[in-house]
Structure 1
Amino acid sequence: MLKHLKILTFVLCVAAISFFTKTFLNQNSTYIVKYLISKGILPITEKDYYQIFKSENIPSYNISPSDVLQQGNGIFFLETTDRMEEPSLVLCSIESAARLYPDRPVVFFMKGLDDIVNVDDEKKARERYPTLSFYKNIYIFPLRLDKVFADTPLLAWYEKVDPKRENYWTNVKADACRIALIWKYGGIYMDTDVISIRPIPEDNFLAAEHATSMSNTVFGLSPHHNLMWEFMENFVQNYRGNVWGFQGPTLFTRVVKKHCGVLNFTSVDHLKCANVSYFHPERFYPMQYGSWGKYYEVWKDLPTFNNSYGLHLWNYMNKGRKFMMVGSNTLVEHLYQQYCPSTYESILKNVTSHH
């Protein structure tokens, strides 16, 4: 009797699930089903959920950057051109961050990417880059400038600026995007030529590039931080797009100088001003721009970078002249092997298959 009762209960549960699912599907209320599943009210797996929706020709529930970044702890990378075939250094930078921060979403915004409508679209976007698809905390979304700048001081500037008359449009829009995204979502921004090697111990920080100038290569602030709003206002009010770096490192430098004066580092320890930590250049620039080529040289004794959280490889100085070469025994090869092994293995297999 008890056995038959259990069977009857199971059948009724299945029937109830089927009824509710069909009802919600007919109402196109896919988000309700997602919510019920996430709360355990509908005890079916996401795999089953996707199969149900596909069989009914109804798309999976929507996914947006807001869904992924709602905790304010995201790590951001940008591709502001239409390029889709990313160099290995870009993939290495993203992979190294995903490995180092497994509990944080690592988001790559790409201007050339088609719209992401649902979870399946986002998965397909990630699968374009097999070395990244292994990491479940990596997300790839399209970069839509009008949406990024909405509800910020940058929107009015963007609507009137003429890209054809801009000398450094790719750089300027990248400078604008990063401050708007961190304002909206909070988290850490990194350029795609920064290899992460140690966790950053602060949430609200800026990094000095030189003793007297700030950098916008790596920085982190909480959502809607007043300093980030000031960056956006200053960007628009003092816009000089024809001057290299004026909307980027120079912007950060002039705003910080206004609040803190010239920072005086006497050690590699952080300085504090206005509840923000300021990092010594050693933290991300252990090699200054004039020494960028040393990353592509063979070292007798490899540097430890004990005082660094990440390594900026100065890609704009390189301009595609040097690459990581398998078997070269260069410093950059060792960095790939240690901090982005999936990217390195992919390059190694590609080299091996062509011999």
Structure 2
Amino acid sequence: MVGLYKKSENVVSCMIKMLLSPKTNIRLPSTLRSIGTVGLFLLGCSLAAFLVFVRTHPWTQNFYVQKEMEREILPRFDRSTCCVSVDRPEDICGRPNCTSSCLEKDRVTAALENDQVKFCSDEKEKAFFLETSGTGSLNFRQACSVESLALHNPNLTVNVLFLDAPIISSATALSKLKEKYSNIRLVSIRLDEYVAGTPLEHWYHCTKWRKGPYHVSHLSDGLRFMTLQKYGGYYFDLDVIVVQPVTYYRNFVGAAADGEYVASGVIHADRGNEVINLAVKEFVSNYRSHIWAHNGPHLLLRVLKNWCEVENLQSMNYVSCRGFNILPKSSFQPVHYSNTKEFFVQRLANKTLENPTWLNTNVVGVHTFNNLSKDHPIFKNSTQIYTWLAKTHCPVIFSVAPNVF
């Protein structure tokens, strides 16, 4: 195709040169002769601009895949402006002059549940990742986290939810994940449809949460609680590398590395679990936009203090928390967030065959704290701990990643 464009461009260039040459005697139609040399020059420029457009427009596989995904996503329905009641013409936020009945929403929601997000009907246990950037893809580090979970837990259905974005399934990382792992599902969802009918719906449409400095992080906080409330299962942040099976553990949250708080980057809850129900209610009723941890890890600690009827994390256990577990900090945060540089230090050659001292049998996953570590490069041909973790626990992604990622 590109070769054809080049040939066409050469032909047009030659024609323009011939038409502008005073030595050329060509019988042109009277219309073309009447526009003169300047007119012919402008016509040639127009043709050249058209060829440049054709050559630079993204006529690639990714472009066609994206367009196909856009067609597959359900038609948009503006839930925020529909009439919630037949008796009163008000939308979900209580504003007058709503546009149409929210009853029409039922059809779209049913289609979403039946065709795109069959989480409840899956026989396998479910796990969820949330991609909130809107890119429709994963970088190699995120893909490594997804592979590590699927690799060590073949009986889990690992769902990666892409919010408000068509999935670029031809991207290297995503195509390899789908090619190698039958238990990975990539799902594109629309947020206004996903939160419809949930406790988060009014918060999502009617509050000023988008004005806060941590609004993306807080959206992720709310959606992880809501997802587990709707479907049950495991939630994982996209910067956790799983190093052994996780399905032995149920109805839990892990302690943070400081030992004082819980970490909301990994959670499991059966569908209908009361701790998650309380977390969703607390998120909506006590939301604070200006405090980063208020609606995530601090929220869970507030809920657990009430649920377990104790005042500190050390006193929480399976009995006091009525069947909900607080796993030790070594389970998912064996390295403190202030020590993330340890993942990138070059080790001595004679130490590369040894596990790091903190990586013992109690470690289920390693939180790599992407916000703090994203600017530190990973070199494939290095002795970095991160390199060793990726090579061991996400071998497919590691094999296709660039030399520095």
Q: Same fold (TM over 0.5)?
A: yes
- Aligned match for 1:142, one of 176, 179, 188: 188
| Paired residue type of 2:153 | Y
Which residue number corresponds to residue 37 of structure 2?
none
Which residue number corresponds to residue 367 of structure 2?
312
Task: Give, in angstroms, the shift of residue 84 of structure 1.
Answer: 3.1
1:71 and 1:282 map into 2 onto residues whose CA distance is 31
Secondary structure at the aligned position of 1:98 is classed as: helix
- Aligned match for 1:302, one of 344, 351, 355: 355
1:211 and 1:351 map into 2 onto residues whose CA distance is 36
2:319 and 2:385 map into 1 onto residues whose CA distance is 30
Instruction: Note the 1:253-272 alignment, pairs <5 A.
Output: 253-260=301-308, 261=310, 262-264=312-314
Whether 2:262 is the aligned partner of 1:214: answer: yes
| Paired residue type of 2:165 | L
- Aligned match for 1:333, one of 370, 374, 387: 387
Task: Give, in angstroms, the shift of residue 146 of structure 1.
Answer: 2.3
Which residue number corresponds to residue 39 of structure 2?
none
Which residue number corresponds to residue 376 of structure 2?
322
2:244 and 2:320 map into 1 onto residues whose CA distance is 21
Which residue number corresponds to residue 188 of structure 1?
234
Cα distance change on mapping 1:127 and 1:338 into 2, 3 Å: closer
Instruction: Note the 1:206-285 alignment, pairs <5 A.
Output: 206-209=253-256, 210-260=258-308, 261=310, 262-264=312-314, 273-285=321-333
8 Å contact from structure 1 (residues 72, 186) kept in 2:
no
8 Å contact from structure 2 (residues 173, 397) kept in 1:
no
Task: Give, in angstroms, the shift of residue 263 of structure 1.
Answer: 2.3
Which residue number corresponds to residue 129 of structure 2?
77
8 Å contact from structure 1 (residues 72, 222) kept in 2:
no
Instruction: Note the 1:143-162 alignment, pairs <5 A.
Output: 143-162=189-208
| Paired residue type of 1:244 | W
8 Å contact from structure 1 (residues 78, 191) kept in 2:
yes
Secondary structure at the aligned position of 1:105 is classed as: strand
For normalisation by structure 2, the TM-score amounts to 0.64
Whether 2:163 is the aligned partner of 1:111: answer: yes
For normalisation by structure 1, the TM-score amounts to 0.73
8 Å contact from structure 2 (residues 331, 362) kept in 1:
yes
Cα distance change on mapping 1:71 and 1:85 into 2, 3 Å: closer
The number of residues matched between the two structures is: 279
Cα distance change on mapping 1:67 and 1:272 into 2, 3 Å: same
1:87 and 1:127 map into 2 onto residues whose CA distance is 9
8 Å contact from structure 1 (residues 265, 280) kept in 2:
no
Cα distance change on mapping 1:314 and 1:190 into 2, 3 Å: same
8 Å contact from structure 1 (residues 296, 332) kept in 2:
yes
Whether 2:131 is the aligned partner of 1:131: answer: no
RMSD of Structure 2 on Structure 1 (CA): 2.5
| Paired residue type of 2:243 | I
8 Å contact from structure 1 (residues 235, 247) kept in 2:
yes
8 Å contact from structure 2 (residues 344, 376) kept in 1:
yes
- Aligned match for 1:167, one of 193, 213, 226: 213
Gapped regions of structure 1 (runs ≥ 5): 1-61, 116-121
- Aligned match for 2:244, one of 193, 198, 204: 198
